[in-house]
Amino acid sequence: MVIGVKKPVYVAKPSLAPLREFNKYLAAIWESGVMTNNGPLVQQLETELKEYLNVEHVICVANGTSAIQLAIQALNLEGEIITTPFTFIATANIISWERCTPVFVDIEPDTWNIDADKIEEKITKNTTAILPVHVFSAPCQVEKIESIAKQYGLKVIYDAAHAMAVEKNGKSLLEFGDVSAVSFHATKIFNTCEGGACITQNPVLAERLKRMRFFGFNENKDIVDRGLNAKMTEISAALGLANLKYLNQVRENRKRKYLLYQKELGQLSTISFQKYIFDEYNFSYIPILFDNKEITVSVIKMLNANQIFPRRYFNPSLNLLKIFDSDICLPVSEKVAESILCLPLYDDLEEKMILKICKIVRDVN
């Protein structure tokens, strides 16, 4: 059955401020000629993000992957890093890229985040850190993870790529851990085209992260540390400044659309939604878990036939990838990864399209 759909509908589409607002910042760049190297717009974005999130230090960087990379370097990590297999490839790849070993721990069956109760059994004398992901913005068990980390003297880096604009216990979720690494990629709820940030409450670590993203230079351009080039450009910062003004609006709008999906699909006995706490979620994705892989594949086929392109975030479970040389079986993650599907969700996705998508999903089930 193909229901009339003209333009392709993708899983994501960037949230963009009105062009004229971006242009105002671009005009300033054209005037000054300052395009990069931690210029005034990057500094302004860091200040505005700090205020928006109510956190101590925001260090804007080139992308979410380099935010994790810098955190690993700044904390001098080596050996084994405990992480989740249910995430985007970037999380485990950057651990391995930094010559550390990702050690996968299975996930909770309802939140799909790392199962904190299974972390301790994977800690060895070589473990230096825990790197959980707040997947689709649902907070991990941050208190439990903090207490394990304290007990064993481990560092904690949160891959908070999805977790912009989420609060837990009245404070930004990004305050937890030694560093939170956020992504501002084009497909994220808040975007700077490519971009990301390290968030930390630790001033010494913040200074190190700033140096390391800039070849190891200090403010006087003395070379005082190791480093790489992970700077955000002024053009990205300009887009961020324009987009930040709309972030609350974008979040509210996505929440409405998410809830419409939930209302339309909630009665289906073959699906479940991620478990989340209403006020601790940013509704930037609409992940649906089907009972089995066969239904997921049939739904994808039928949506594709209607020019609708959902995505299997995150399939496969990363422990199954040969590149990580891990021969363990993680049944919960493998099962979730096999049957998960993220449906389209973005600002100008029309309600009638959501209703169509839900009808197709219901018809297959």
Residues of this chain that interact with ligand T4K (CB under 6 A) are 10-14, 63-65, 87-88, 90-91, 133, 159, 161-162, 183, 185-187, 196, 309, 311, 313
Tell me whether residue 269 is exposed, middle or buried, using C-beta atoms within 10 angstroms of its C-beta: 0 to 12, 13 to 18, 19 or more: exposed
| Cβ nearer to ligand T4K, comparing 162 with 356 | 162
> What is the Cα–Cα distance from 233 to 242, expressed in whole angstroms?
14
Dihedral-angle region of residue 112 (phi above 0 means left; psi in -120 to 50 means alpha; beta otherwise): left
Least Å distance, CB 216 to ligand T4K, is 22
| Cβ nearer to ligand T4K, comparing 75 with 318 | 318
**What are the angstrom distances between the C-alpha of 277 and each of 54, 119, 138, 151, 282?**
21, 23, 8, 28, 10
* CA-closest candidate to residue 177, choices 84, 75, 96, 255: 75
| Cβ nearer to ligand T4K, comparing 217 with 308 | 308
| Cβ nearer to ligand T4K, comparing 217 with 312 | 312
| Cβ nearer to ligand T4K, comparing 12 with 337 | 12
Least Å distance, CB 195 to ligand T4K, is 7
Q: How far is CA 220 from the centre of its chain?
A: 33
Least Å distance, CB 69 to ligand T4K, is 9
> What is the Cα–Cα distance from 182 to 163, expressed in whole angstroms?
7
Least Å distance, CB 356 to ligand T4K, is 18
| Cβ nearer to ligand T4K, comparing 254 with 311 | 311
**What are the angstrom distances between the C-alpha of 301 and each of 297, 350, 361?**
6, 22, 11
For 99, other C-beta atoms within 10 Å of its C-beta total 10
| Cβ nearer to ligand T4K, comparing 155 with 311 | 311
| Cβ nearer to ligand T4K, comparing 187 with 202 | 187
Least Å distance, CB 196 to ligand T4K, is 5
Beta bridge partners of 59: 198
Least Å distance, CB 6 to ligand T4K, is 17
In contact, 240 and 184? CB cutoff 8 Å: yes
Least Å distance, CB 138 to ligand T4K, is 12
- Please give the residue whose beta carbon sits closest to ligand T4K in the complex: 64
Pairing, β 196-200 against β 271-273: unpaired
> What is the Cα–Cα distance from 163 to 198, expressed in whole angstroms?
12
Structure tokens at 60: 């804007």
Least Å distance, CB 31 to ligand T4K, is 27
